Amino acid sequence: MTTTKALVVFSGGQDSTTCLIDALNTYDEVHAITFDYGQRHSNEIEVALEIGKELNVKSHKVLDVTAINELAISSLTRDNIPVSNELNDNDLPNTFVPGRNIVFLTYACIHAYQLGIKDIITGVCETDFSGYPDCRDNFIRALNLACNLGMDNNVNIKTPLMWLNKAETWGLADKHNMLEYVQNKTLTCYNGILGKGCGECPACLLRQNGLDEYFASK
C-alpha cells in the first residue's frame, strides 16, 4: 500500500497550523519546513518547532534563508520600521516581504524533491487578501509550473485556504476539534505575542474578526 506524504510550509501561525492539522488528518506522513529569514520575532521559529513536536510531524526542517533579509526591507525584517496599518506608496502593506514566498516555496519544492514528496501545502489565502501579491492563486500556479519545469518534476503546491475567509479557516480548525489549540498555541501577531496577540496589528485584527464571525455563525 502506498504511503501518502505531504510537506507543509510551516510558520507556527494560525493559517499554517490549520493546514498542518488538516494535513495530519489527510496524509499518512506529514513533514514540515520552517524558514529563518531574520524575521522580526525569532520566537516564531520556537513556536513552530514546539507545535511540530506536539503534533508529531515526521520531520521538521528549519532552513536558514537570512540572506533575503539583506535585500527585502519590511517592518517584518527591520526592527526600526514599526508595523503599520497604513499602505506604503506602492499600495502594499509595510509588512510585505518582497520575494519571501518565492524563496520559501522554491526551497520547499527542492526539499520535497529530496524527500520524494509530491504534495506541498501552504496556507496562503486570496479571499482574506492582505495585500500580498505572493499570496494570490495565479502566483502559486505560476511558481508551481516553474519549479516543475526547472526540476523536471511534478510536485503539486496545494493551498487549502486559498478561497476561505478567516471565519471559514477557524471552522476548519474546529472541524478537527483543534480550534482552542490554534487559538492559544499559534503566533500570528506581527508584534510577536502568542495566542490572541496584541489585538491591534493587521494580523491580529483579521484573526479576531474572523473568530468573532465564526462564533456568530454557529
CB 121 within 8 A of CB 23: yes
State the fold for domain 5-217: Rossmann fold (3.40.50)
Q: pLDDT tens, 66-100?
A: 877 665 555 554 455 555 555 555 555 555 666 78
Mean pLDDT on 128-157 = 90
- Least confident range of 17-21, 115-119, 128-132, 176-180: 128-132
Per the annotation, where are the binding residues for Zn(2+)? 189, 198, 201, 204
Per the annotation, where are the binding residues? 10-20, 189, 198, 201, 204
The answer on pLDDT for 49 being more than 80 is yes
Q: What residues does each domain of the chain span?
A: 5-217
Q: In this structure, how many other beta carbons lie within 10 angstroms of the beta carbon of residue 180?
A: 10
For residues 112 and 117, what is the distance between their CA atoms, to the nearest angstrom? 5
What contacts 188, CB < 8 A, 6 or more positions away?
Answer: 13, 14, 15, 197, 203, 204, 207
Per the annotation, where are the binding residues for ATP? 10-20
Q: What is the pTM of this model?
A: 0.89
